[in-house]
Structure 1
């Protein structure tokens, strides 16, 4: 029976507690190998590509300002942001740290959890006050009781909570399953291969797997006792950098590791690219070797736009939906401002703003506000007039509406 079938079977049994570690072990079940590195949510972070992917996505999302809007006569109007989206973890945990932590857990485990410790006076769709504070909890402390697709209880650090007292986000979902899937679990083989390569290299250079060299007596055959005595003497001499003195009968040859070094590098490069695909990060963004790619970008803005559209954007959209449903009252909704990712170089930005002003999509005062500058004063406008002529703008030709008189 496949690992996914076993996960489904576990959650169809009533009163069965399942931990994130259980899901990880189920997803990895069936792998072969002898002495290997055990992969879990913590040990996976020792692999640099895993860390780079998680850090990149969490860093970027935590930099996005969170805005709240409502529709007024078809227009999007910004409204005050509730405290839960300013200091969601209380005064000690700001929104950037909270967003980083939750995105980090979502991307490595498919789930994040927190205890709702305060509620606001605004009543939500479930008839209770909307969350006012959410204290995040470590993944390893959470177990879940579920009946089919419905979570009935959370157990956190040994204490049971009803679902409405727990903040739970999930991603990488499948129909009928109450938890998100863990990328670490399904990427375990690739992560394990990379960690085992690192373990092999460490053991190799520590002389723990194969001999670091051979010490041969070229004149006679020696027994085990003599071999042990010579080895101990040689090791005692060279372990602290001292000189090993011998006659004409001993010959020392270090074992070369050229082949193993190249295999180690190849294994690392393959694993890094494979891991990047699991975690939704292009390999070039985490400095992983990318072979056979001929895609080039005119500027960093285009590269970031492609990353936003193809990788990070859908996850951001799902978070916006979760925040809109659970943290603000209808008809308000939440948007993460991704403009921080799409920052242009100064020349491109100036050209874009100038084009929007010329085409009358943007007023000069609005462009100044985007640059965090105050509107022009009358003295500044007069100076422009002296340099470039009158500030008057020729009227644009218009097309008369059908049936209108000229």
Structure 2
């Protein structure tokens, strides 16, 4: 961190703002290794550089990130207040509006959280620049996670460095909303792409090899043999002739051979080369890095179907072990950083997990019937789950009395 930033931390807010403007003009230097690595990625043992853009070209990476981001962003998010009797009530204030309706001038809440979760999946961190008015949150503007990183000065004070078009801007911690993914408790979460560089580099190399294999219609299916040494002119004529058989559009054409030339077929079996098996394993290996079951991205293991109760249990496990930890991270960071200090114990934000636990009509009917008949949920609450309007007299909790004592039978009719 530069001298300007260290001094700015000890200055009043008005002077500090001017110091940050000066610091913003500092450009990315050649000695800034982490900054350049974020731009150009890392090279795998397969010889392929792995960057965010390269990794997202892999269908498995794209699907893991997309499915997780879309599933979480589609869940309703609300702010609640704990009441003295143990119940809770929803809060409709500016913070709730920012989190669940309009986080900034350009985005809806769904678009904002979809982007934030996508960054969290690929980078292990997501950042937003926050604007406060009167000590209350006013907006959240997303920051590119691959261009943002936390840094500390010699006193241990936390700042955030943002690379913007070759320039470096430093923001204080109270201007940045930072959600960290899985890690070892430091200032940053761990990136699946950075640590999975070998897996994704191998997958990129395999995809490129497969593409080159099929770019030639002959697919290295054989060799031409001549009984004599060809001149340079004859070699050029042969190359020109072979051009007419390149690409898949010209596959299976009949080739006419002259001057004693013969064609010897070669076999290149994908199973023998393990190309198909390698690519199947890569999908499952990439899913491990992102904590997404292969079935979620449309990849069924050998012998596994895409339907049935087993798949349903896999999806429930994904919600519990994959999505729920991410949701809790976001909720706890909102409570810690966006709630006023004096209200953190009584207010909290929560995603509605029921939005992803959709059931068939029969299972849903049995589920709601059990809750209503056991006095856990009122009839009106059950109707709300079905998007039906409330009815008079439906707020009272009821329960089945099939096992009531014999002395109680008929008491209700007698009282009437």
1:188 to 197, 203, 228: 197
CA distance in 1, matches of 2:170, 2:218: 48
Matched, 1:165 2:175: yes
> CA, structure 1 residues 22+88, in 2 after alignment: closer, same or farther (shift >3 Å)?
farther
Unaligned runs of 5+ in 2: 1-30, 406-416
Matched, 1:222 2:234: no
How far did residue 300 of structure 1 move?
6.3
Q: Deviations over 1:89-144 (max 9, x none)?
A: 4242011011110000001111112222x3243xxxxxxx2332111122343354
1:132 to 138, 141, 145: 138
CA distance in 2, matches of 1:180, 1:224: 63
TM-score, normalised relative to structure 1: 0.77
RMSD: 3.5
> CA, structure 1 residues 21+341, in 2 after alignment: closer, same or farther (shift >3 Å)?
farther
Matched, 1:341 2:356: yes
1:373 counterpart SS class: coil
1:49 counterpart SS class: helix
Hey, what does 1:369 align to over in structure 2?
Answer: 384
How far did residue 188 of structure 1 move?
1.1
Hey, what does 2:89 align to over in structure 1?
Answer: 77
CA contact (8 A) 1:18 1:143 kept: no
> CA, structure 1 residues 131+209, in 2 after alignment: closer, same or farther (shift >3 Å)?
farther
Q: Deviations over 1:361-391 (max 9, x none)?
A: 222222112212123469x9xxxxxxxxxx9
CA contact (8 A) 2:97 2:103 kept: no
CA contact (8 A) 1:85 1:95 kept: yes
Matched, 1:235 2:242: yes
Matched, 1:321 2:327: no
Hey, what does 1:90 align to over in structure 2?
Answer: 104
CA contact (8 A) 1:24 1:182 kept: no
CA contact (8 A) 1:21 1:140 kept: no
Hey, what does 2:26 align to over in structure 1?
Answer: none
How far did residue 184 of structure 1 move?
0.6
1:114 to 125, 128, 141: 128
CA distance in 2, matches of 1:189, 1:38: 10
Unaligned runs of 5+ in 1: 1-15, 122-128, 381-390, 399-406
CA contact (8 A) 1:17 1:145 kept: no
TM-score, normalised relative to structure 2: 0.75
